[in-house]
Amino acid sequence: MSIPVSFDASDPVSARRFVTAHDEKGKAIFRFENEIPRTATTEDPGKRALFGVPWRTEGFPVDNDHAKDMQTIGGPIYQENGSLCRFVDFPPQSSSPMHRTETLDYGIVIYGNLVLELDDGAERLLKQSDVVVQRGTIHAWHNRTDDWARMVYVLIPAVPVTVNGQKLSDVMHD
């Protein structure tokens, strides 16, 4: 899923992250500050979605005392025992596959317009600042414009959805 690639001027600007912590006296400090590395879904510049993960957590409740850098390059689509913050850049005229994950996702449109499609064919146009609360449903994303679009997601593991006593598992369709 994740392919390290080189980027060029036609790609959207990379995001930066600023991670706070505490010094030995308990004062707030900036612990990590850098451009967020990105990976791509394909090597084809016209079709590749770009992924960046500024932070992830392990376990609940979250431990804010450790000094480990929890930025992730590549890696799983979500954390099985923690949260994951990811941004995705969708290229112009592109679509994701239909998919479902066993997570609760908060998705926020940062810029651009995207169409969220559910497996029954229902669609909604999402614009800058719109929020999606994705609760384990099969869905796809479509960027039907000639401009890049960016969303930020926070993914939290969830109990698998059950309908009529049957567990609905993770799926990915082309």
Output Rg (C-alpha) for the chain, integer angstroms.
Answer: 17
Chain segment 19-62, per-residue pLDDT in tens: 999 999 999 999 999 999 988 887 776 678 999 999 999 999 99
The pLDDT score that the predictor gives to residue 2 is 53
pLDDT band at 9 (very low <50, low <70, confident <90, very high): low
Residue with tokens 């290229």: 91
The pLDDT score that the predictor gives to residue 109 is 98
The pLDDT score that the predictor gives to residue 64 is 92
pTM, two decimal places: 0.88
Q: Dihedral sign, CA of 17, 21, 23, 28? A: positive
The pLDDT score that the predictor gives to residue 59 is 92
pLDDT at 12 over 80: yes
The pLDDT score that the predictor gives to residue 54 is 94
pLDDT at 5 over 60: no
Number of continuous H segments (helices) and E segments (strands) in the chain: 0, 16
Chain segment 66-112, per-residue pLDDT in tens: 889 998 887 778 888 999 999 999 999 999 999 998 999 999 999 99
Q: Dihedral sign, CA of 101, 65, 34, 107? A: positive
The pLDDT score that the predictor gives to residue 96 is 93
The pLDDT score that the predictor gives to residue 126 is 98
**CA 163 – CA 147 distance, rounded (Å):** 38
In the chain, where are the structural domains located?
Answer: 39-173
pLDDT band at 169 (very low <50, low <70, confident <90, very high): confident
Q: How far is CA 117 from the centre of its chain?
A: 17
| Topology at the third CATH level for domain 39-173 | Jelly Rolls (2.60.120)
> What distances in angstroms separate CA 99 from CA 4, 20, 170, one per listed residue?
22, 34, 7
> Among candidates 134, 165, 170, which has minimal Cα distance to 152?
134
The pLDDT score that the predictor gives to residue 23 is 95
The pLDDT score that the predictor gives to residue 3 is 57
What is the DSSP secondary structure assignment for residue 24, as one 8-state letter? T
